[in-house]
């Protein structure tokens, strides 16, 4: 591995450690610190999240959680006390993966400032036999310690980092939601000028200070009236959307964007991945 690639790998791991510190501290409500420590052997993983890196950096990394850490991470996300005797289930894996997804979102923001526009795309996976740099990230607090394995499978070499002034925090501009075909996205980086306002909206400036209510939609579900009447505390309603699927941002019942849920200073937020055309957004005005 070249000196530049080694520097990139070290920077990548450090930003993941800082992101883990930030996310876990916010969720746990107490100061936690993550730092890289030595790893003698690969963790016997019950949960494995594979993270694709695209954009200014090109690579692949894996985040492995042991059975105990899977239960701990799931409990941290749900706010429940972990049960050491419990078995790892699909639900606990998905909850732990959701927590790691938030770490990836925070890490992506930090990496964009260091390298430029890029994306981190996490998904649940199986253990990959590929070799690479393995690092243990240890998260310590006043009374407890958590850990997970960060496995950098590969990273594109000879990619020089850009300065903060050269980097951009703006997300990619993506084709309108209604026109996008499955598994295809048209991208243009921040060098592309913003989409002009459609002709005929010359009085739009008069409306820009109007406050509109926006809604996040995680999914929907058709239910029988008798099932709705029988709902009680503790009932679980399964939606038609998976944990990894994008969340809709709506105004007046219309989808104007899609994205992934993140945590911003202890509050839920939405990182925009796709936006509707300018005309559609303006069409939501009252």
Say how many C-beta atoms besides its own lie within 10 A of residue 236's C-beta: 5
Q: What is the pLDDT of residues 27-50, one digit of tens each?
A: 877 787 878 888 877 888 889 999
Q: Are residues 219 and 141 in the same domain?
A: no
In a domain, 163, yes or no: no
Asked if residue 67 belongs to a domain, the reply is yes
- Which helix (H) or strand (E) segment holds residue 173: the answer is strand 173-174
Q: How far apart are CA 146 and CA 259, in angstroms?
A: 29
- Report whether pLDDT(194) > 70: no
Cβ 153 vs Cβ 135: under 8 Å = no
Residue 39: domain span: 3-155
Q: Can you give the pLDDT at residue 199?
A: 39
**pLDDT tens-digit map of 56-80:** 888 899 999 999 889 988 888 877 7
Where b means 16+ CB within 10 Å and e means fewer, 198-222 reads: eeeeeeeeeeeeeeeeeeeeeeeee
26-46 per-residue burial string, b: 16 or more CB within 10 A, e: under 16: bbeeeebebeeeebeeebebb
Per-residue pLDDT tens over the stretch 80-124: 777 778 888 888 888 888 888 889 988 998 888 888 888 899 888
Residue ending a domain, among 155, 183, 209, is 155
The enclosing domain of 11 has a CATH number of 3.40.1550.10
pLDDT of the residue at 183: 37
The answer to whether residues 222 and 250 belong to one domain is: yes
């Amino acid at each position: 591995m070249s000196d530049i690639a080694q520097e990139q790998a070290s920077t990548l791991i450090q930003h993941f450690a800082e992101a883990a510190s930030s996310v876990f501290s916010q969720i746990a409500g107490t100061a936690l610190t993550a730092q890289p420590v030595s790893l003698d052997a690969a963790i016997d993983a019950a949960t494995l999240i594979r993270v694709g890196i695209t954009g200014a950096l090109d690579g692949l990394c894996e985040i492995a959680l042991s059975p105990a850490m899977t239960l701990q991470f799931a409990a941290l996300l749900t706010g429940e006390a972990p049960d050491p005797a419990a078995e790892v289930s699909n639900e606990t894996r998905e909850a732990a993966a959701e927590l790691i997804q938030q770490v990836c979102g925070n890490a992506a923001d930090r990496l964009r400032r260091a390298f430029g526009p890029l994306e981190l795309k996490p998904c649940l996976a199986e253990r990959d036999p590929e070799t690479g740099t393995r690092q243990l990230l240890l998260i310590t607090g006043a009374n407890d310690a958590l850990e997970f394995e960060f496995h950098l499978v590969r990273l594109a070499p000879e990619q020089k980092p850009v300065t903060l002034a050269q980097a951009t925090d703006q997300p990619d501009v993506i084709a309108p939601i209604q026109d996008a075909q499955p598994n295809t996205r048209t991208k243009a980086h921040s060098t592309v000028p913003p989409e002009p306002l459609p002709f005929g909206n010359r009085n739009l400036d008069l409306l820009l200070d109007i406050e509109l209510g926006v809604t996040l939609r995680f999914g929907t579900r058709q239910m029988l009236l008798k099932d709705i009447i029988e709902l009680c505390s503790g009932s679980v309603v399964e939606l038609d959307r998976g944990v990894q699927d994008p969340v809709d941002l709506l105004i007046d019942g219309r989808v104007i964007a899609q994205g992934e849920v993140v945590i911003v200073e202890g509050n839920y937020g939405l990182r925009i991945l796709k936006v509707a055309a300018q005309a559609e957004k303006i069409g939501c005005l009252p």
